Structure 1
Amino acid sequence: MRSSLALIATVGLVAVALSGCAASAPVPEATPGDSSAAVEVSGKFGEEPKVSFPSPLNPEGTQCTEVIEGTGPLLTEGQLALVGLGVYNGATGDEIQVTGFGDTDPVPLNVNASATMPGIAKGLTCAREGSRVVVVVPEKDGFGPNGNPSVGVEPGDSIVFVVDVQRTFPSRADGSVQLTRDGFPAVVLAPDGRPGITVPKSDPPKSLQQETLLQGSGQVVEDGDTVVVQYTGVLWDEGTAFDSSWEKGTPATFVVGEGGQVIPGFSKALVGQKVGSQIGVIIPPADGYGEQGNSGGVPANATLFFVIDILGVI
């Protein structure tokens, strides 16, 4: 039996050597200032807040003040959080939107400037799970010079966010390394957890095959669950990636199981697995995109290989 243990362990040692200060605490991209300190917020965490502030607020850069202290590490680039969210026009004081509090489902926000507004992505880096933060975003980190008149934000207006970080998800799987069989694609991990994949130069199996690369210890994924995952998918014949949440800079959320939002093989690989696990799965055409392929670069009758990090169940 061959083991990917050596491959993953070797990359882990390289990561330690290269990172040097990897254990140091993350540094927020936004810090408190006069504008964020001027926002008064009352009410219990998780319940709709009462918010007031003098207007207009005109910070030069994005500011963030933690008004209810959270626990654990600060959020970092690439994480997903479920939040209660209040949004207000910082120039006029008008409410724009309040959602995700009380009995309302929380809102998913990505700590990624390309996936969400740059200012809110910066502001979330001063928050932890359980934090209530005030984030004040200037025009340059908000809607830009054109504003967004459809929601009442004119050019030059700042935006105030009140965010209750109700739940956070890691950016990578954290399970223990497992052995894999001979002939299975080799997976090595970059320092940030991004997988590098080498597909064997052999004909693919005719049926779905999977291996647990990292064994997690969290909640078991069930049919119909909404999961939070990182993934990379490659074409078996070419060995090239056709889709990756890592390249998009943020985890993805999917419903798995019958009637789910992903190809059958993806669901089959995840149902019954534990959060914190990393799964490698070979998906034949019948459990993938079949004879049609897809417009995202998958040809007809393609065998696929995915590496999937299971980060949580919503």
Structure 2
Amino acid sequence: MRLPLALMVTAAAIAVTLTGCTAPSPEPEASAGASSDLVEVSGDFGETPRVDFPTPLTPEATQCSTVIEGDGEHLAAGQQALVGLAVYNGSTGEEIQVVGFGDEDPVPVLVGGGTLSGLSKGLTCASEGSRVAVVVPPADAFGDEGNEQLAIGADDSLVVVFDVHQAFLPKANGAPQLTRDGFPAVVLAPDGRPGITVPDAEPFDTTQVEVLKKGHGQEVESGDEVVVHYTGVLWDDNTVFDSTWQQGGPTSFVVSEESDSQVIPGFSKAIIGQQVGSQVGVVVAPEDGYGDAGTGTIPGGATLFFVIDILGVVGD
């Protein structure tokens, strides 16, 4: 059942007021200590670092030290970032992996989710543009089993150096907007996960887009690679057929009006021209979705509905 317009206006006004309040900066889940302060890191941000430290390093808890200060707030749970990543065995000094520096593309990591606990804690010490050195005890890494493939024993710590090139929003942070009658209702959990109720009515004949939250970030252009959270449901029975929220983290792909698009046309239509921080709802007609053939669990001729959080544009 849809809320009466007066109640929707009141709810939106309250939400706008709350959105305008200054939220406290997230507190890091680790701090500098004797072990992380022993890690010497040299070289320019973005370039492969030179890392030296005495062995073995045996911290009781994950520690992090800032090598290069960044801008903005510390990363928080649910945020995706693009990083350069250098990992070493903290007991032996052996290099494990160095990736995402120099001419290499930075790699995506998620704070929380399936990321190793110690790496997530270390990332909460970082912000966009920063370089941090993190020392992780076994309990926050691979535990008593270690990792035989990486030659990490049960008692081995990890030393990790992060260069945070770009950080993305954990969820849409724009101002709530009113939607037209007949449009699916969306209710958000505290973490931003949408609950969707499709009306018991015939769908629109054509693809229709509504801005649910109005962001104020960069405008998405055709050909951009965007980072998003989304949930998609079938109009006919409200069944969720795909959701990044259920997969544990955001995803990224190219949206385009041309053949280089990595998503269905209706998805691109919903995002192109919108601003980062926005949340959009889009009713995707079959011709802008999977057509008469369908795909997987999506039957032919299906009308779809997506709620999409636009979290950032890669490389900008």
1:27 maps to 27
Look up the match of 1:280: 281
Aligned to 2:233: 234
| 8 Å Cα contact 1:3/1:181 also seen in 2 | no
Distance 1:74 1:12 in 2: 29
Q: TM-score, normalised by structure 2?
A: 0.86
Deviation of residue 129 (structure 1)? Answer: 1.5
Amino acid at match of 2:261: G
Deviations 1:116-141 (A, max 9, x none): 22221121112112221111122232
Asked if 1 retains the 8 angstrom alpha-carbon contact of 2:234 and 2:240, the reply is: yes
* 1:79 Cα deviation from its structure 2 partner: 0.3
The answer on whether the counterparts of 2:15 and 2:175 sit within 8 Å (CA) in structure 1 is: no
Q: Distance in 1 between matches of 2:7 and 2:190?
A: 15
**Residues 271/51 of structure 1: CA separation in 2 closer, same or farther (3 Å cut):** same
Percent identity over the alignment is 59
Structure 2 distance, partners of 1:5, 1:282, is 25
Note closer, same or farther for the CA distance 1:219–1:149 as it changes in structure 2 (3 Å cut): same
Distance 1:22-1:224 versus aligned 2 partners, 3 A rule: closer
Cα 1:293/1:136, change in 2 over 3 Å: farther
The 3 A distance-change label for structure 1 pair 4 and 81 is farther
Q: Helix, strand or coil: the match of 1:34?
A: coil
Counterpart mapping for 1:125-144 below 5 A? 125-144=124-143
**Structure 1: how far apart are the matches of 2:212 and 2:38?**
49
Q: How does 1:29-68 map to 2 (within 5 A)?
A: 29-68=29-68
* Deviation at residue 9 of structure 1 after TM alignment: 6.0
Amino acid at match of 1:94: E
- Could you tell me which runs of 5 or more consecutive residues in structure 2 were left unpaired when the two chains were aligned: none
Cα distance in structure 1, aligned partners of 2:221 and 2:5? 27
How many corresponding residue pairs? 309
CA contact (8 A) 2:9 2:178 kept: no
When the two chains are superposed, the root-mean-square deviation of aligned CA atoms in Å is: 2.8
Give CA deviations for 1:280-302 in whole Å, capped at 9, x if unaligned.
Answer: 1001233223445444x434432
Aligned to 1:243: 242
* Residues 41-68 of structure 1 deviation map (CA, whole Å, 9 limit, x = unaligned): 1222222221100111122332222222
Query: Equivalents in 2 of 1:27, 1:8: separation in Å?
Result: 34
Structure 1 match to 2:122:
123
User: Taking structure 1 as reference, are residues 306 and 8 closer, same or farther at Cα in structure 2, changes over 3 Å only?
Assistant: farther
Query: Which residue does the alignment assign to 2:272?
Result: 271
Describe the superposition over 1:192-215 as per-residue Cα deviations: whole angstroms up to 9, x where unpaired.
333232211101123211112222
The worse-fitting range, judged by mean Cα deviation, of 181-190 and 225-234 is: 181-190
Q: Which secondary structure does the structure 1 equivalent of 2:302 belong to?
A: coil
The alignment status of 1:10 with 2:11, answered yes or no, reads yes
Q: Is the 8 A contact 1:39 1:52 kept in 2?
A: yes
Q: Deviations over 1:16-56 (max 9, x none)?
A: 99xxx993432322222222122111222222221100111
Letter aligned with residue 249 of structure 1: G
Q: CA deviation at 1:80?
A: 0.7
Letter of the structure 1 residue corresponding to residue 97 of structure 2: Q
CA contact under 8 A between 2:113 and 2:249: conserved in structure 1? no
Report SS of the residue matched to 1:81.
strand
In the TM superposition, what is the alpha-carbon distance from 1:247 to its structure 2 partner? 2.9
Shift in CA distance, 299/118, structure 1 to aligned 2, threshold 3 Å: farther
Give the whole-Å Cα distance in 2 for the aligned partners of 1:217 and 1:3.
28
Q: Is 2:178 the counterpart of 1:176?
A: no
The residue that corresponds to 2:80 in the other structure is: 80
The verdict on how the C-alpha distance between 1:100 and 1:175 changes in structure 2, with shifts beyond 3 A counting, is same
Q: Which residue of 1 aligns with 2:108?
A: 108
Amino acid in structure 2 at the alignment position of 1:211: E
Residue 3 of structure 1, CA deviation:
8.9
CA distance in 1 between partners of 2:147 and 2:6 (Å): 51
Deviation track 1:127-183 (CA, whole Å, cap 9, x = no partner) reads 112221111122232234333333332333221110011211111222333332221
Contact 2:113 2:248 in 1 (8 A): no
Amino acid at match of 1:181: R
Aligned pairs (5 A) from 1:144-163? 144-163=143-162
How far did 1:250 drift? 2.0
